[in-house]
Amino acid sequence: MIEVEHLSKIYGSTPGIADVTFNVEPGEIMGFLGPNGAGKTTTMRILAGYLPATTGTAKIAGYDVHKNSLQVRQKIGYLPENPPLYPEMTVAGFLHFVARLKGVSAGDRNRQVAAAIERCNLQEKRNVLIRKLSKGFRQRVGIAQAIVHDPPAIILDEPTVGLDPRQIIDVRNLIKSLAGSHTIILSTHILPEVRMTCDRVTIINRGKVVVTNTPDTLEAGLAEGSGYEIEIDGDAEAAKNQLQQLLNVRKVEVEKSVVENRAILKVIAVPGTEPGRYIVQVLVNMGIGVFEMRRTRPSLEDVFLELTTEEKKLEASVEESQIEGEAS
């Protein structure tokens, strides 16, 4: 449904994005994840036809966003980071206005507007002026204007930014309800949103795609962090020394607990192993009290930090090599 190949955008002499390639399958929610300034909004604007690419191609529903701009705009719904709303219009009036602009026929307009209002849970606000709405409801109106013409593809740029926790949950559920009948690309820097909402994730850093995969696969690939956290009392250093001798224990760290006279043992296991029962056995035999033990697994946040940190280290290494070459 959405195909991006070798997309680049240069502002003057500064690259915004470079050689960006990914695809989004029909009915899928793709999370486009990256830190602030990574190139997410630039990519979204190119896909929406608001910004031309310097090189590369992007296609939506088979149409090239540059060569077939009008056809692409009929096939997408776009919610920019700041929704383009008219505060002096009512919700229903604004959506009728947008539907007309997007080419919805007069005979279908009432039905399409009613459907968008229902899907976004705006029934009680349909006759309210937009300026009187909370930020959460304004965000819903922004999503409603993106779907009022029932496009096959929806592009959402930071749809939950600035919302409170309750509003974030409402918008998240709304986005998930749109999947299947719509293909969605969701740009964000908020990691929990991606984990809770998206089928696959593309991580972009400094204008370049670092990886594309499912959240589960990305987390499973970072096996380094799997292990246990154990709250104990007793000689934590002695426990650490004993546990490090176990066959499937790679590393043990000791941290202070918030509870007085207790410590936290952070045990990193060898990937693919489950040494938990042997860890408990060692601690019990040592006479150490175990108050809590829980599994720890890598999160999407760990994956994100690992990948973006590696990218920075690689760039720093290349720059250092270039400086040394020039000096010699």
pTM: 0.74
Residues 23 and 119 in one domain: yes
Task: Give the domain extent around 257.
Answer: 223-296
Are 197 and 77 members of one domain? Answer: yes
Give CA–CA dist 3/47, Å, rounded.
10
Residues 181 and 232 both lie in one domain: no
The stretch 33-48 carries a mean pLDDT of: 89
35 Cβ neighbours under 8 A, 6+ residues apart:
189, 205, 308
Across residues 39-52, what is the average pLDDT? 91
For position 100, what pLDDT does the model report? 94
Pairing of strands 63-64, 55-60: antiparallel
Number of domains in the chain: 2
Percent of the chain with pLDDT over 90: 58
Least confident residue range of 215-224, 226-235, 275-284, 285-294? 215-224
| Assigned token pair, 58 | 């992007």
pLDDT digits (tens, 9 = 90+) for 213-247: 998 888 776 656 688 999 999 999 999 999 999 99
> Is 184 in the same domain as 230?
no
Same domain (yes/no): 9, 101? yes
155 plus 243 within the same structural domain: no
88 part of a folded domain: yes
Do 38 and 114 belong together in one domain? yes
